[in-house]
């Protein structure tokens, strides 16, 4: 459990997000994963993010584990009731995947499965309580387990738009730590001063705080995020920088790497999110770790 040791060390932590394929051809998934060996402390495997049907996160994480990478398995509260959630948590332990966290899950209307119905039996906070209960040897019905699991628990921090909502998110994060979370992942960072203010509001929570770094693939993507993603503000200087670059993908990589370097002053780690450009992850890491 090298990731657990890294969390205790408080050294800067490098995480990368890798989506599983929409199908069973794992060639690109494996090739991209191979290039991350020795470069990241863990790979976060999202669980049907953006409500798009894909190979399950548990299967993808197991593949990465077999390749020698440590993983964080994400569970979407959108898609499971408490029976399935607890069963999959036990499966994660048995499969040797102890690092877990939960998200609410994006709205199904954004996805590719018309007619799908959300479950939302548990909130991410209730997920933490359920996981902690399993570690203590009992399920959510109060029944004793035949052998308890053990987990390294994490929590996602929701977006904030002003000082009041930042204070609310910080309070939620502290509560997650009280419930057992040992790492916290913040939303995509595009303004370091804004993130610094949040980190100060959070204070020393006792958990590792990590900022997400989302690769800006285009000017259109930046504009879309500004208009549709709460708490996101890609400034005009960054947009002009992307627009004027002769090699926009390379410039996007530079911007991401600079954000990672900037985060080192305010938190303990960064999660790199490339949204389908996983082949760019090594380039970002190369620049960010110089």
Q: Tell me if residue 99 falls in helix, strand or coil.
A: strand
Is pLDDT of 18 > 70? yes
CA nearest to 36, candidates 276, 290, 272: 272
Q: What share of the chain has pLDDT > 90, as a percent?
A: 93
Please state the rounded mean pLDDT for residues 139-159: 97
The reported pLDDT for the residue numbered 68 is 96
Angle between the N-to-C axes of helices 192-202 and 163-178, in degrees from 0 to 180, rounded to the nearest 10: 50
Is pLDDT of 3 > 80? yes
**Of how many residues is the chain composed?**
290
Q: Tell me if residue 272 falls in helix, strand or coil.
A: strand
Q: Which structural domain, as residue segments, surrounds residue 8?
A: 2-288
* C-alpha to C-alpha distance for 272 and 15, rounded to whole angstroms: 6
* C-alpha to C-alpha distance for 216 and 234, rounded to whole angstroms: 9
Is pLDDT of 69 > 70? yes
pLDDT digits (tens, 9 = 90+) for 72-131: 999 999 999 999 999 999 999 999 999 999 999 988 998 999 999 999 999 999 999 999
Tell me what the pLDDT averaged over the chain comes to. 95
Is pLDDT of 171 > 90? yes
pLDDT digits (tens, 9 = 90+) for 41-65: 999 999 999 999 999 999 999 999 9
CA nearest to 216, candidates 191, 190, 194, 186: 190
Model-level pTM?
0.95
Please state the rounded mean pLDDT for residues 249-257: 96
* C-alpha to C-alpha distance for 150 and 162, rounded to whole angstroms: 37
The reported pLDDT for the residue numbered 10 is 83
> Beta-carbon neighbour count of residue 5 at 10 Å?
10
pLDDT digits (tens, 9 = 90+) for 186-235: 999 999 999 999 999 999 999 999 999 999 999 999 999 999 888 899 99
Number of folded domains that form the chain: 1
Residue 233 maps to which CATH number?
3.20.20.220
The reported pLDDT for the residue numbered 1 is 59
The reported pLDDT for the residue numbered 264 is 96
pLDDT range class, residue 2, cuts 50, 70, 90:
confident
Asked if 75 contacts 114 with a C-beta cutoff of 8 angstroms, the reply is no
* C-alpha to C-alpha distance for 151 and 160, rounded to whole angstroms: 28
The reported pLDDT for the residue numbered 110 is 85
* C-alpha to C-alpha distance for 218 and 230, rounded to whole angstroms: 19
Structure tokens at 259: 């954000």
């Amino acid at each position: 459990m090298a990731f657990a040791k890294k969390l205790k060390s408080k050294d800067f932590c490098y995480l990368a997000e890798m989506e599983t394929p929409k199908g069973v051809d794992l060639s690109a998934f494996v090739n991209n994963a191979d290039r991350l060996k020795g470069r990241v402390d863990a790979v976060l495997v999202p669980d049907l993010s953006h409500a798009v049907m894909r190979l399950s996160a548990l299967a993808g994480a197991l593949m990465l584990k077999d390749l020698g990478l440590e993983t964080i398995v994400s569970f979407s509260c959108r898609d499971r009731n408490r029976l399935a959630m607890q069963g999959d948590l036990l499966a994660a332990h048995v499969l040797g995947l102890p690092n877990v966290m939960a998200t609410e899950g994006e709205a199904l209307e954004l996805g590719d499965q018309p007619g799908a119905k959300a479950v939302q039996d548990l909130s991410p906070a209730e997920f933490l309580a359920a996981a902690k209960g399993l570690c203590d040897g009992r399920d959510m019905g109060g029944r004793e387990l035949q052998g308890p699991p053990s987990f390294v628990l994490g929590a996602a921090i929701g977006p904030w738009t002003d000082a009041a909502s930042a204070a609310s998110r910080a309070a939620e994060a502290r509560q997650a730590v009280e419930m057992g979370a040992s790492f916290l992942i913040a939303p995509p960072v595009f303004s370091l001063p804004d993130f610094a203010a949040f980190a100060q509001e959070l204070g020393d929570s006792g958990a590792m705080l990590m900022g997400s770094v989302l690769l800006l693939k285009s000017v259109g993507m930046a504009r879309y995020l500004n208009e549709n993603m709460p708490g996101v503000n890609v400034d005009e200087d960054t947009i002009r920088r992307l627009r004027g670059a002769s090699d926009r993908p390379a410039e996007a990589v530079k911007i991401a790497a600079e954000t990672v370097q900037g985060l080192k002053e305010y938190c303990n780690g960064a999660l790199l999110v490339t949204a389908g450009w996983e082949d760019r992850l090594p380039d970002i890491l190369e620049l960010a770790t110089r």
